[in-house]
A and B are shown apart, each in its own frame.
Chain A
Amino acid sequence: MSELLRVRELTKHFVSRRGKGRIRAVDGVSLVLRRGETLGVVGESGCGKSTLGRSILRLLEPDSGEIVFDGEDLLTLGPSALRAKRRDMQMIFQDPFASLDPRLTIGSIVGEPLVIHRIGDRASRPRAVFDLLETVGIEADAVRRYPHEFSGGQRQRIGIARALALRPRLIVADEPVSALDVSIQSQILNLMAELRLRFGLSYIFISHDLAVVEHLSDTVAVMYLGRIVEAAAIEDLFARPSHPYTQALIAAVPEPDPARRATRTVLKGELPDPENPPPGCPFHPRCPKAMDACHSIVPKDANIGFADRPHVVRCHLY
């Protein structure tokens, strides 16, 4: 399958509030997304996964790097060209309570992108909105109602309808199910899988939840302190998790199976201060396999897979 998106050495630093340090939220990230596929980005809070998602859509302005979408570098586009390009790239947010304007009706929320991008006219838009709501499983009478009248799962469906309005090719979904109840999560995940097939969508699926990422993704990138520490096809990553951080993340997922109540190795410590990342490999203070080199030398990417099916690990063990 052909490439839809290629990100090369993307970097986004923030100046810290105290004005002295720099937070390397995204630090030289490269990734590839093929058409019709889903790339999962997984990591703990503060690892830079949301900043990465927003930087790819240029909702945040990256400091440097390249974002080639459909053959065109987004970072070279002027404001109007970028706005036109945004039709192809939409976002679904985590919090369905915060991402829908409480004063707008559902009809206005879902129809707004059509108005902004001058698609259709007054006569045709209501029909389009009905179709979108039907697609995501929301009843048509919702158009005159307001967000507070809907549950979290229904609001997330409405957010998805809005994202679909412009028939995008890429959707960046940032923790789309983590605010939802277990029984609602699986409804939304199924909907997303169905829509991907039906509309030929590609997703960047950002989540802290490995099981959810595994379910929906074709490839996956594991982030730690602004960098991708391991990336591979989903089967390869779970068959052979290679970075000690990936291994620890997988081991930490609570198993709903008391028979497997694990005697697991619990990772020590917490994410270090992103303003003062440890020297060498940023994971070494928590790493059970840290060696001398890890304290001082930043590891480089190593491909432990194949040239046409890379499995990239950033660790001195490989």
Chain B
Amino acid sequence: MSGGPVCAPRLIVMPPSPLLEVDSLSVSFATDNGRVRVVEEVSFAIRQGETVGLVGESGCGKSVAAMSVMRLNPSPPCYVDEGRILFQGDDLLTLDSVDMRAIRGDRIGMVFQEPMTSLNPTFTIGYQIAEVFQIHRGMDAAETQRESIDLLGMVGIGAAERRLHQYPHELSGGLRQRVMIAMALACRPDLLIADEPTTALDVTVQQQILELLRRLQADIGMSVLLISHDLGIVAEVCERVLVMYAGRIVESATVDALFQHPQHPYTVGLLAAPPRLGQRRSALPTIPGTVPPPGQRSAGCHFADRCARATERCRAETPVFESVAPGHDVACWNPAP
């Protein structure tokens, strides 16, 4: 670079564009009684290296929303009605199945709740890990073996060489989940979707897995979408939380903001309801009623029937998802003070 004008690199300060951007995603299921919406206009984004929690009770649509990102919902009966899922600039919903398969397991990894049902019982652990390397990386047997041993070491499985020859049923629940995580991370994905990864595990083992996820997230720098019904788990590992209720995202905030100043009455109720260690109360605050099943959701805000703060407007008009503070959005006509 001698002589001539030197062009100084220009620093362009740009907001980092999100790794994943889900834009008004609506998903429905075909049932005997016609189409039923289970995910309604869900929008969220995950930045590079960010860990985001998606919280809600069973049937709220959190798993369907996440599986839509992977395009793993069986269709029929499941249909994406509208929306875009932008991942590194590509709209995943428009990709053909070959391109999608190349992304799945390579740039996006997934871990499920029940490791026993997501591992194939008839093949060894080694065979199942090797598959990932062969499909996505075209590695030969020797390379695969070396990488597999490395990988098991990374997720804290000792005696890796011996483990490769074992079958899933020979491993404990915690070890199986580590194997699942190893497989999901084999190709160093940019995004890991973990759907209730510790729900089937005991509390002490759950802590081990959460610790592992935290460490790997930091080491690899990947983004994580953690789906859970447990606010405690989300508080421990996530930076930002999305709260889902009856198919919609009702609140989005940093963990600190959400736990200190929850705004949506549903979030408030969810945080107050469970018993907490060291805080005995004579009666627990409850959210009356039950989650309305898809197809029986009222007009307006779906939470209105159970909400102590509901007004006329709540029953008539769908709340707009609006910012109440920087980085804190709520879909509520009458948020908690």
Within 8 A of B (CB), among A170-204: 181-187, 189-190, 193
- CB-CB under 8 A from B271, the residues of chain A are 256
Distance in angstroms between the alpha carbons of A215 and B58 in the assembled complex: 23
Is A44 an interface residue, CB under 8 A from the partner? Answer: yes
Contacting residue for A255 out of B57, B206, B235, CB 8 A? B235
Beta-carbon contacts under 8 Å, B280-295 to A: 280-287, 290-291
User: Could you tell me the distance in whole angstroms from the C-beta of A236 to the nearest C-beta in chain B?
Assistant: 13
Q: Are A255 and B284 in contact (CB under 8 A)?
A: no
Stretch at the interface among B7-15, B97-105, B226-234, B326-334: B226-234
Known A248-B204, A261-B236: A211·B259 in contact at CB below 8 Å: no
CB–CB B235/A254 < 8 A: yes
Which of A248, A249, A254, A257 is packed against the most chain B CB atoms within 10 Å? A254
Instruction: State whether A267 and B286 are in contact (beta carbons under 8 Å apart), knowing that A211-B276, A258-B235 are contacts in the complex.
Output: no
Instruction: Please count how many residues in chain A sit with their CB below 8 Å of the partner chain's CB atoms.
Output: 44
CB pair A256–B259 under 8 Å, yes or no, is yes
Q: How many residues of B contact A (CB 8 A)?
A: 45
A186 touches B276 (CB 8 A): no
Is A256 within 8 A of B232, CB to CB?
Answer: yes
Pair A267/B204 contact, Cβ less than 8 Å: yes
Instruction: Provide the residues of chain A in CB contact with B276, threshold 8 Å.
Output: 211, 255-256
Contacts of A215 in B (CB 8 A): 275, 280-281, 284
Q: Count of A-B contacts with CB under 8 A?
A: 128
CB within 8 Å for A257 and B202 given contacts A182-B274, A187-B286: no
In the complex, chain A residues whose CB is within 8 Å of the CB of B281: 215
Residues on B with C-beta less than 8 A from A44 are 202-205
The answer to whether A154 and B270 touch (CB under 8 A), given A212-B275, A215-B284, A252-B203, is no
Binding site for B on A (CB under 8 A): 44-45, 151-154, 181-187, 189-190, 193, 208, 210-212, 214-215, 234, 238, 248-259, 261-262, 264, 266-268, 270-271
A-B contact pairs, 15 of them (CB 8 A): A44-B205, A151-B291, A181-B291, A185-B273, A186-B286, A189-B275, A208-B203, A210-B277, A215-B280, A254-B210, A254-B236, A256-B271, A264-B207, A270-B172, A271-B202
Q: Which residues of B are at the interface with A, using a C-beta cutoff of 8 A?
A: 57-58, 172-175, 202-208, 210-211, 229-236, 255-256, 259, 269-271, 273-278, 280-287, 290-291
